[in-house]
Copies of this chain bind each other. A is one copy, B any other.
């Protein structure tokens, strides 16, 4: 085995990178004041953040708590950021998503669901309470979901009855199905909860309102009438102390009502700017919207971390080469490249789409109407992308990624959590379509602008492997899907006289999902094109264009039947797509290291998966739990340079 053998172009390309592009792209992807990154990386030097796996359930929870306390103490994020620096909330989530999912989830509940709801629904009288949230002195839960009403929250059963005589509310869970379910921070660490309940004032149900309810006393014992049960062991992220909570006629003072939206006078008069009771639900549940961007941020951070780990491992993991010896990095195999690199390309594109959503959240002017569907699209696509990336990385790293220390298992678990938390993705996709169709009727849905008229021009083409064509095809699909969905709904409801519910739930499910994907993919693409157009840095432009090309041809390849059946892609052009996809992967290889380094993954050894560093050195140690000593960063510029399998230096490994 000579080194010369590995100077072949396939392996050479795996070593390339460009520092100037790294620096430009790092800032673009970060999409916030880049100086914040160094501050975060300084905080993360604390050994409390070191990966640890061999722990009891209690230890896992206490570690996650110690970590969030360290984050809180560092003061880099605040619930007041919703007012003074909204992007910072998401920046924090993304960075914590690279550390671990339990920490990030406890953080999002404290700072967004609990803290953000307080921030949005509180008034002057709650200011002293809010002032203790950043420090975690007031640690909270978000008691929203009930066992029986996971997907139908407006029908929740928990009640808050106001009694003007005592100026108190009585919070009560009348049934088993009304227990608050999956409540993060509930099993261990919260002393307060924001509880959502059907609010009865002067004998009338005035709809859902939110209340601050103390759930634990200063000794962290459950308050009278508050019943808390641990949810038990989960698929993953067991550092989260999820609980189910129920309330047995718990009394709270009038002042604990979060009254920014609706007021209740001491005498028991309900005053609201929202006359329709059912509409009040959406006003108080507002944090679920930013929550979806928080989930995007966490999932995006985790996805980038996993890709970094998987690719760095695959660049050094040697398997069979032409001579039969184990001397060839698995990253050079087409099987590995075609499996992994499309996810890298898509993650870049989704990162830019998620960034635009973050920009819209920070300044929604002019796009208020689009917010819900864009945040849903970002949450769904980014969380599904995490699940699919993690699943693929897991499979393609074999045993290496079955170990918890690789952190790939936690990514998979995080993906699963993300795709059904705060709205099952499939249900959010339905929401997108409802919004798009409603806006189409009002002629308010902004359709993408095509530069070609695909129906006429593209079938004549012998190949679609051209960036402009791919963009037009992606835009075209949304337009065509909206048109066909509108027709289909009209046919079923008007011509066939069917009820909306029956058509929607029993007949057009797949069409809904397909249109929602077309919308969401187009949104991601447009956001990326906006960035490419604004970028003057040639290397960055080239990298992003190549990534976009790979992402698009992969996406179209995965939906090729639709394009061919529609007729917009000819059978001849379609027959070449597989080869064009494989070529696009090969063309992307020289950009891989630059893309990975632009993810700004912290280089601290204690935050890295050992398989991402020198995995042979890691395995030379006796004890997997103490892997810091395998601290040597893997140098990807040595990719494919075979090294001797290190001799055992002592009897004991």
Contacts and interface: CB of A to CB of B under 8 A. Distances in A.
A149 B398 CA distance: 12
A652 B176 CA distance: 10
A145 B502 CA distance: 55
A351 to B, nearest CB: 23
B398 A416 contact: no
A10 B509 CA distance: 15
B335 A235 contact: no
Nearest to A320: B152
A47 interface: no
A177 B616 contact: yes
Contacts of A564: 561, 564-565, 571, 574
A282 interface: no
Interface string A485-509: 0000000000000010110011111
A391 B225 CA distance: 39
A147 interface: yes
A499 B322 contact: yes
A395 B409 contact: no
A555 to B, nearest CB: 13
B225 A582 contact: no
Nearest to A412: B235
Interchain residue pairs A-B with the least CB separation, the first 5: A177-B645, A235-B409, A560-B561, A53-B233, A232-B624
Copies per complex of this chain: 2
A651 interface: yes
Interface string A328-357: 000011110010000000000000000000
Interface size class of A (residues with CB under 8 A): 35 or more
A536 interface: no
Interface of A: 10, 53-54, 56-57, 145, 147-152, 155, 157, 173-179, 181-182, 225, 227, 229-236, 244, 246, 248, 318-322, 324-326, 332-335, 338, 387, 391, 394-395, 398-399, 401-405, 408-409, 412, 416-417, 419-420, 424-426, 499, 501-502, 505-511, 513, 557, 560-561, 564-565, 567, 571, 574-575, 578, 582, 616, 619-620, 622-625, 644-648, 651-653
B426 A335 contact: yes
A174 B509 contact: no
Contacts of A510: 334, 338, 578, 582
Contact of A318 (B148, B320, B506, B508): B148
23 contacts: A148-B318, A148-B616, A148-B645, A175-B648, A176-B616, A176-B620, A176-B646, A179-B619, A179-B653, A182-B399, A227-B651, A227-B653, A229-B653, A231-B403, A232-B403, A232-B624, A234-B402, A321-B501, A332-B506, A333-B505, A395-B420, A561-B561, A567-B571
